[in-house]
Structure 1
Amino acid sequence: MAAVRCDLEDFAAEMFEPFARADQRRWGGVYLRGLLLDGGRKSVEPMAARLGEDGNRQALAHFVTSSPWDAAHVRARLAWRMQPVIKPTALVIDDTGFLKDGDASACVTRQYTGTAGKVTNCQAGVSLHLASNGSSAAVNWRLFMPGSWDPASPKADPVKVARRDKCAIPAQVGPRKRTESTRSAKIWHMA
């Protein structure tokens, strides 16, 4: 990490430049560095332990959960930054399962995931990647919200619906469908 730290700090400064406050920009960079460090779990507590002197668990948790910034703006900056680097020849849409032992995380339910090759307890994320023969980058993503988490769905599970507040899912957010076209990677070649 030491060899690329300056480049990573420059990249983080570019991505988080529109943030209103300096502390948001600082903790955005620290969080990005934490995501890139070795270690299996990428939740705040284990990341903070790996970050050494920058491992302020409370500040990282505040950045992730409470700090007012718009992820869509960061994703847009990332897409604009990566397009000339990757020179994409294809757009790839894929879904990925994030296996979960418990049900405390947002949108966890028993569902099929190719990650495990079976129905299991997981979150499902859908992502958009810019891709070329030599590289790719995810530039947009979101969690799939199963009907069991939607109070308006006939499949609503009262326990999961009650978890929405603890997971900070806004009331106006409804189910996000994972259609057949995203169950396995789809590639659109660009002209």
Structure 2
Amino acid sequence: MRHVEKWRLALDMLDEQAEWGSPRLPVVADAGYGDCTRFRLGVEERGLDYVVALKAGTSAHPGEAEPVRPPRNGGRGRRPKPHYPKPASSLREIAMAAGRDAYQEVAWRQGTRKTKGNPSAAMTSKFAVFVVRPANRDIPRADDGTLPAKLLLVEWPDEANEPTDYWLSNLPADTPIDQLVDLAKIRWRIEHDYRELKTGLGLDHFEGRSWTGWNRHVTLVAIAQAFCTMVRLDPKQDAPA
């Protein structure tokens, strides 16, 4: 069996979902996928929106940056290709250059730890949105050398000395920051479900060696997790103690 990269497997899963007729919802992913240019391009080629995490060192140009076309040397020969006059910056540099005043408080869900200062247990932090042009040689450019503009969502908590998290999105430029934050933070639900599958329902307890046995084990665990989810979503059911 030949090796297949994780990002290719993820795109195959998106194709399979499309065949099932699943809703075409935005794709969310951690930096393991978000930093892969070919994965992001593949998602866009399928006509899907995304909000994916990136590492702070990922390079990009500010949204207002424009490429220039140098003149021909001596007026002869092929004219040089357009290029950006300044080197790309890291996402960290772009985020910090804006200063703390550019960040606003956004709440994305209700937590469980209530305090005197936060009686509703709202999960909040400081966020800002910037327009950037990710700089990677695999990204197709327009005829004038322009790189595609994307939205960069950055989280900079009050207690942190610098921004802590970065997300890139191809959603429209007028997308409300609350919506971007909700999509960026929805991965918490995925991590929660995976932890429940492993620790509560025994996903990692299988010790057999056959494909059939493993497939049956995973299927039963997935059904059990789906049942637990249905119980949680049923307003007639009392919350578990």
TM-score by length of 2: 0.17
Structure with higher helix content = 1
TM-score under structure 1 normalisation?
A: 0.20
Q: Give the number of the structure whose alpha-carbon radius of gyration is greater.
A: 2
